[in-house]
Structure 1
Amino acid sequence: MNLHIEKLNHPNNDILNALNKWDNHPDLVPFIRPNRNWEELEQCRNMDMDELKDRLESHPMFLIYVENKLVGEMNYMIDPPHLFKKVRGTAWVGITIGDPDARGKGIGYEAIRYLEKEIKEQGLARIELGVFEFNTQAHKLYRQMGYQVIARIPDFTYWNGKMWSDIRMEKVLI
């Protein structure tokens, strides 16, 4: 597998369209954003180019390619307000493997390793993330990579007819 990750510096319409497609795909929405009810799950959210450029000014984004095909996106924010532990110098990470053919192939593992390296190079020593309770595959991966559960926020997101917790995890980079 020829995996390539690059920082997004110059967005274009193809990238914007891929991000919007993933952010609205019914199979992905429950895994990538919290929803309070069925109606929120079905809401379409389309970012325009100005919003994408604003996002890039506030935090770095990286594109994941396999065999030169865009398959995912990842990013990190420094000290966002939604951290569970308010520790200065903490990176909050987000990863989306948008292409269904790319899931379950170790790309998430490589993406996290890449982000950890980038974050460490920025002089940050702590990462925090949230993973929805029903996303057992991601939770297992994070545990295997040394992330520890620090909290469970109950009734955080709606999926499959009920409310689920958000599991907050952290890793201290050495």
Structure 2
Amino acid sequence: MNIHFSKLTEPNPGVVDVFNRWENDPDLIPLTRPNQNRAELERQEIITAERLKQRLENNHIYLIFLENRLVGEMNYMIDPQHLFKKEQGTAWLGITIGEHEGRGRGIGHIAIHYLEEQMMQQGLNRVELGVFEFNLQAQKLYQKLGYQEIGRIERFTFWKDKMWSDIRMEKYLKGKV
């Protein structure tokens, strides 16, 4: 399995098209963005090259390739306002394996290790993330990688006719506490 990563610095039309497809994929929407009701869950998003460039101002975005095919993206931002635990030098991690053939193959595990290395090179010592409580597969992955639950935000997202919590998890890099 040939996996490699590339830092996104300038979005091209092909990347914009793929991001739009993932952002509007009914299988991914419940996993990647909070929704307060059915209408939000069914809402279509438009990502433009300009919008993606704006994201790059606050996010470090890496593309995930499997056999030279773009299958996902991962990103982090430093000290965002939405951290559960406000600790200076914290990276907020996000990852999406957008293509079906990239899921369930260990790519997320490899990708997060790579992203943690990038964070450490920037001198960051703590990572925080949020995962919806119904996303058991992602929870297992994060736990396997050493992330621990630090709190929950109740009634955070709508899916399957009910509201679910957002589980916040953290990990200290380089063994720092």
* Superposition TM-score, scaled by structure 1 size: 0.99
Answer yes or no: is 1:141 the counterpart of 2:141: yes
Read off the aligned partner of 1:46 and give its amino acid letter: I
Q: How does 1:11-160 map to 2 (within 5 A)?
A: 11-160=11-160
Instruction: Report the 3-state secondary structure (helix = DSSP H, G, I; strand = E; otherwise coil) of the residue aligned with 1:54.
Output: helix
Q: Using the alignment, how far apart are the partners of 2:58 and 2:163 within structure 1?
A: 31
Note the alpha carbon deviations across 1:102-129, whole angstroms, 9 max, x for none.
1000011011101110001100000000
In structure 2, distance between residues paired with 1:35 and 1:10: 29
State the match for 1:162 in structure 2: 162
1:161 Cα shift?
1.1
Pairwise CA distance, 1:159: 0.5
What SS does the corresponding residue of 2:105 show, helix, strand or coil? coil
| CA apart distance, 1:156 | 0.4
3-state DSSP of counterpart to 2:70: strand
Q: Which amino acid aligns with 1:83?
A: L
Q: 1:6: Cα distance to partner?
A: 0.7
How far apart, in 1, do the equivalents of 2:165 and 2:147 lie?
Answer: 17
User: Could you tell me how far apart the structure 1 residues matched to 2:10 and 2:103 are?
Assistant: 26
- Spell out structure 1 runs of 4+ moving beyond 4 A: none
Return the alpha-carbon distance in structure 2 between the equivalents of residues 59 and 25 of structure 1. Answer: 22
TM-score w.r.t. the length of structure 2 is 0.97
Q: Aligned residues, how many?
A: 174
**Structure 1 vs Structure 2 CA RMSD:** 0.6
Distance in 2, matches of 1:92 and 1:47, equals: 21
The unaligned stretches of length 5 or more in structure 2 are none
Of 57-66 and 129-138, the range deviating more from structure 2 = 57-66
Alpha-carbon separation, structure 1, partners of 2:76 and 2:129 = 10
SS of match in other structure, 1:70? strand
Counterpart-to-counterpart distance in 1, 2:4 and 2:84: 32
Provide Cα deviations, 1:26-55, integer angstroms capped at 9, x if missing partner: 000000000001100110111111111111
